[in-house]
């Protein structure tokens, strides 16, 4: 116990008793003595808001602690901290706003809420003098938020590359390692509990994009408008793309990329990308997450672990609760987000530059490559390599054509792909994706 003094009771209200909420309730009790010894705080959840009082749950909560109205938590003068785990952006926004105005510290794991309303919520937090903690909003049990706020605070963040959605990583891993189709891999992910019955938020890329907005905003000191973020899902990745990437020494991952250019303009994007097998991110498999941060002083740092699940995510919530308790016991710190003026503009997504992979299904006839090369050349796009593997040829008179493209802007590439789609020799919509050049 710090200074040999008895632990100080910290009263907590918990909104939401789903998978993560149940984990928080269970694990605070499980490791109560450890937390008291390390922090001097006796974390006590004394009131819990749920939608349905009769719903079966993994943890037993005394009936007198339960309420169906989150306002009871806000209006309870005994509570010092409110944990928001109800999800969504409607009631959650009302709850967090009301808690801050009631001068209660907020802990949340709600990535969508922060991505959409972070700017106004942190302005309110500053106005009320109450902090918001949100470690569990990104990458589950990986302490990436604390690393950016504290461990790397003396660095200009040059780039962040992250695999931050476990569902998509599981699906792409099974497609790559077991040869499953996208549909079969998605079904398996749902059966194992890695994907929801409605997997849209994950497979569309938006779950990862919300997390990327939070990481980018912390790194560059301004809240990235959601409209400035490029998002593409994994549903169009085919077995052919997986196989060709393998032949070239790449693995396809849903990758979130965050970086600033020389003018301080920040790009934030999430999309399927080819990652070199020589880079550590290519070996991140199953439902695991990994984030690589490049700082100007520290260089490259890697954060790896389980990005979702009851215990990893509840671990991050409990970490936030311990930080909040430290404020109550020892004194005040910043409100969770510190704006600064070194950056401040999003980079137009069409100006972002990378290598590309382009797969075409074309008629097996002379002159096809010349037509495609002409379209690319007219837009100042160079070809680094071409493959037309005979073992993938069709008996219908068509053959796949694979091209690796030199650095080009997304705007150039979009225009070129649209023009190539209109060529008479191209028989179906092109498949293309970024090829990331990682150290």
Phi, psi of 88 (to 5 degrees): 75, 180
| Annotation says 211 is catalytic | yes
The catalytic position among 211, 236, 253, 345 is 211
Contact predicate 351/414, CB 8 Å: no
Report the alpha-carbon distance of residue 119 to residue 127 in Å, rounded: 12
Q: Kindly state the tokens that stand for 381.
A: 């796009």
**Cα angle, residue 249 at apex, residues 245 and 255 outer, rounded to 5°:** 60
Contact predicate 433/272, CB 8 Å: yes
Report the alpha-carbon distance of residue 311 to residue 31 in Å, rounded: 12
Report the alpha-carbon distance of residue 8 to residue 195 in Å, rounded: 40
Contact predicate 280/96, CB 8 Å: no
Phi, psi of 27 (to 5 degrees): -80, -25
Q: Which contiguous run of DSSP H or E holds residue 318?
A: helix 310-330
N-terminal to C-terminal alpha carbon distance within the chain:
45
Q: Kindly state the tokens that stand for 429.
A: 């919509």
The alpha helices in 62-165, defined as continuous H runs, are: 71-74, 91-101, 111-128, 144-146
Tally: H helices and E strands in the chain: 14, 17
Residue positions annotated with a catalytic role: 211
């Amino acid at each position: 116990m710090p200074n040999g003094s008895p632990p100080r009771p910290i009263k907590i209200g918990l909104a939401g008793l789903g998978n993560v909420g149940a984990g928080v309730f269970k694990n605070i009790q499980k490791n109560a003595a450890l937390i008291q010894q390390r922090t001097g705080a006796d974390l006590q959840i004394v009131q819990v808001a749920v939608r349905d009082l009769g719903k079966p749950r993994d943890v037993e909560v005394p009936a007198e602690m339960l309420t169906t109205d989150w306002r009871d938590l806000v209006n309870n003068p005994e509570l010092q901290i409110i944990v928001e785990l109800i999800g969504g952006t409607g009631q959650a926004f009302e709850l967090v706003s009301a808690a801050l105005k009631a001068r209660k510290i907020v802990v949340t794991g709600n990535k969508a809420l922060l991505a959409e309303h972070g700017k106004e919520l942190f302005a309110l937090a500053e106005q009320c003098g109450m902090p918001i903690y949100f470690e569990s909003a990104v990458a589950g049990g990986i302490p990436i938020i604390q690393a950016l706020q504290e461990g790397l605070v003396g660095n200009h963040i040059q780039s962040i590359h992250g695999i931050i959605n476990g569902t998509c990583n599981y699906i792409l891993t099974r497609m790559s390692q077991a040869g499953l189709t996208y549909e079969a891999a998605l079904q398996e992910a749902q059966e194992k509990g890695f994907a929801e019955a409605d997997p849209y938020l994950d497979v569309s890329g938006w779950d990862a994009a919300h997390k990327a907005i939070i990481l980018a905003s912390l790194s560059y000191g301004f809240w990235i408008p959601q409209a400035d973020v490029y998002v593409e899902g994994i549903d169009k990745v085919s077995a052919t793309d997986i196989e060709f990437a393998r032949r070239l020494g790449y693995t396809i991952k849903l990758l979130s990329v965050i970086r600033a250019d020389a003018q301080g303009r920040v790009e934030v994007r999430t999309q399927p990308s080819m990652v070199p097998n020589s880079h550590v991110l290519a070996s991140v498999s199953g439902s695991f997450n990994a984030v690589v941060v490049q700082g100007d002083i520290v260089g490259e740092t890697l954060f790896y672990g389980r990005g979702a699940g009851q215990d990893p995510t509840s671990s991050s919530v409990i970490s936030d609760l311990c930080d909040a308790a430290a404020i109550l016991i020892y004194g005040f710190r910043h409100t969770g987000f510190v704006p600064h003026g070194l950056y401040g503009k999003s980079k137009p997504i069409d100006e972002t530059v990378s290598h590309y992979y382009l797969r075409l299904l074309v008629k097996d006839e002379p002159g096809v490559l010349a037509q495609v090369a002409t379209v690319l050349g007219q837009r100042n796009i160079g070809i680094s390599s071409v493959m037309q593997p005979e073992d993938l040829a069709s008996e219908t008179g068509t053959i796949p054509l694979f091209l690796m493209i030199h650095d080009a802007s997304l705007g150039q590439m979009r225009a070129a792909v649209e023009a190539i789609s209109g060529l008479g020799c191209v028989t179906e919509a092109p498949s293309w994706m970024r090829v990331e050049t990682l150290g």
